[in-house]
Amino acid sequence: MFKALCRFLMKLTGWRFEGELPPLPSYIMTVAPHTSNWDFIVGVMARGALGERIHFLGKHQLFIPPWGWFFRAIGGSPVDRRKNNNLVDAVSALFEADSNFKLALAPEGTRSAVTRWKTGFYHIAVKAKVPIVTVGLDFASRKVVIASPTHTSGDMQADMDSIIAFYRGIHGRYPKAIPDYVPSEK
């Protein structure tokens, strides 16, 4: 029922898919660019239309009453960004515990312009040994663009350059620059 409703809503609003989800049991999806609250609405609609159980992480403020139950029901888990959590290990454990776990993340971590993307998704993919599926919400063409899965190569610079290159052709609701990948200095 929900799948049919979401397909109807996508058709009604002019959204369509380019590409398809891989027939794999587990993967991590990067969804970008994240420029508007509409990204979440289009994402939930697309997820419903695809009929896949795809989990997501969201800021903890979304999971308080009265809406917390809703976000959990549609696959969300809260993240408290004020605390230094070992999120890579925690999420990797979710992949280990469930052989059919799929997770969608926004690598920017915010709707605001950023100078550097978060790379936790990449480290999760490496640790959990799952591929990365890049998904773009292109508001200019009203397409949810799904690329073929990418397996991490061990060369993070090359992998990130390839992922970022995909998003340079995607137009968010409010266009913003996609920054080059620059490794963090520790």
Domain extents for the chain? 2-139+161-167
Ranges 59-73, 78-92, 168-182: which has the least confidence:
78-92
Query: For residue 186, what are the CA distances in angstroms to 89, 115, 125, 162, 183?
Result: 19, 17, 21, 23, 9
78-103 pLDDT, tens per residue?
A: 776 666 668 888 888 889 989 999 99
Q: What is the mean pLDDT of residues 50-55?
A: 91
State the pLDDT confidence band at 66, using cuts at 50, 70 and 90: confident
The most confident of the ranges 46-60, 96-110, 130-144, 169-183 is 130-144
pLDDT at 186 exceeding the cut of 60: no
- pLDDT of the residue at 185: 62
CA–CA dist 77, 89 (Å, integer):
15
- pLDDT of the residue at 75: 82
Helix axes 87-97, 120-128, angle to 10 degrees: 40
pLDDT at 18 exceeding the cut of 90: yes
- pLDDT of the residue at 112: 66
The dihedral built from the CA positions of residue 83, 103, 173 and 177, taken in this order, carries a sign that is positive
- pLDDT of the residue at 148: 95
Average pLDDT of the residues of the chain? 88
